[in-house]
Chain A
Amino acid sequence: DVKVTQSSRYLVKRTGEKVFLECVQDMDHENMFWYRQDPGLGLRLIYFSYDVKMKEKGDIPEGYSVSREKKERFSLILESASTNQTSMYLCASTMPGQGAHEQYFGPGTRLTVT
Chain B
Amino acid sequence: SQQGEEDPQALSIQEGENATMNCSYKTSINNLQWYRQNSGRGLVHLILIRSNEREKHSGRLRVTLDTSKKSSSLLITASRAADTASYFCATDAVTGANNLFFGTGTRLTVIP
Is B69 on the interface with A (CB-CB < 8 A)? Answer: no
Which residues on B sit within 8 Å (CB–CB) of A98? Answer: 96
The interface bits of chain B over 81-110 (1 if a CB of A lies within 8 angstroms of the residue's CB, else 0) are: 000000010101100111111111100000
Q: In the complex, which range does the number of interface residues on chain A fall in?
A: 20 to 34
Interface contact A100-B100, CB-CB below 8 Å = yes
Interface contact A108-B42, CB-CB below 8 Å = yes
Interface contact B102-A42, CB-CB below 8 Å = yes
Distance of B20 from chain A, by nearest CB (Å): 19
Interface contact B42-A100, CB-CB below 8 Å = no
Binds B, one of A43-51, A62-70, A77-85: A43-51
Given contacts A90-B42, A108-B41, whether A102 and B98 have CB atoms under 8 Å apart is: no
Which residues on B sit within 8 Å (CB–CB) of A88? Answer: 40
Binds A, one of B11-19, B43-51, B53-61, B72-80: B43-51
Task: Count how many pairs of residues, one from A and one from B, have CB atoms less than 8 Å apart in the complex.
Answer: 68
List CB contacts (< 8 Å) of A23-63 with chain B: 31, 33, 35, 40-43, 45, 48, 50, 58-59
Interface contact B42-A107, CB-CB below 8 Å = yes
Distance of A49 from chain B, by nearest CB (Å): 10
Is A110 on the interface with B (CB-CB < 8 A)? Answer: yes
Distance of B10 from chain A, by nearest CB (Å): 12
- How far is A40 from B10 in the complex, measured between Cα atoms in Å? 11
Is A94 on the interface with B (CB-CB < 8 A)? Answer: yes
- How far is A40 from B45 in the complex, measured between Cα atoms in Å? 21
Most buried by B among A48, A102, A108: A102
Selected from A40, A43, A96, A105, the residue in CB contact (under 8 A) with B98 is A96
Is B3 on the interface with A (CB-CB < 8 A)? Answer: yes
Distance of B28 from chain A, by nearest CB (Å): 12
Interface contact B45-A31, CB-CB below 8 Å = no
Instruction: Enumerate 12 A-B pairs (CB-CB under 8 Å) in ascending A order.
Output: A31-B98, A42-B103, A42-B105, A48-B99, A94-B98, A97-B98, A100-B30, A100-B92, A100-B97, A102-B45, A102-B48, A108-B40
Beyond A98-B96, A100-B98, A100-B100, 7 additional contacts (C-beta under 8 Å) are A43-B88, A45-B99, A90-B43, A99-B98, A100-B30, A103-B90, A105-B43
